[in-house]
Amino acid sequence: MDRGQPLPKGAEHQPRPWINRKESPLAALALRKKPDGSTMLSSSQFEAGERFRLDFERGQMAPMMGINWDKLGKAGGGKGQGSFGRIEISDNAMGARQRFSQAALYVGDELFGILVDFCCFLKGLETIERERQWPARSAKQILSLALDRLARHYGLSEKAQGPLQNLIRHWGTEDYRPQI
Q: What is the DSSP letter of 2?
A: E
Does residue 178 sit within a domain?
Answer: no
Does residue 163 sit within a domain?
Answer: no
**Domain span at residue 145?**
16-63+89-158
Does residue 6 sit within a domain?
Answer: no
The amino acid present at 95, given as its one-letter code, is: G
Does residue 82 sit within a domain?
Answer: no
Does residue 165 sit within a domain?
Answer: no
Under 8 Å between Cβ of 146 and 107: yes
Does residue 58 sit within a domain?
Answer: yes
Arithmetic mean of pLDDT, 87-98: 86
pLDDT digits (tens, 9 = 90+) for 9-66: 655 555 666 666 667 899 889 888 888 988 889 999 999 999 999 999 999 888 877 7
Does residue 36 sit within a domain?
Answer: yes
Does residue 77 sit within a domain?
Answer: no
Give the whole-number percent of the chain exceeding pLDDT 70: 69
pLDDT band at 67 (very low <50, low <70, confident <90, very high): confident
Angstrom CA distances, 115 to 20, 38, 107, 149, 162, stand at: 21, 22, 9, 11, 28
* pTM exceeds 0.75 for this model: no
Q: Does pLDDT of 127 surpass 80?
A: yes
Q: At 49, phi and psi to the nearest 5?
A: -65, -40
Q: What pLDDT is stored for residue 103 in this prediction? A: 96
Tell me how far apart the alpha carbons of residues 123 and 144 are, in angstroms, rounded to a whole number: 15
How many domains does the structure of the chain reveal? 1
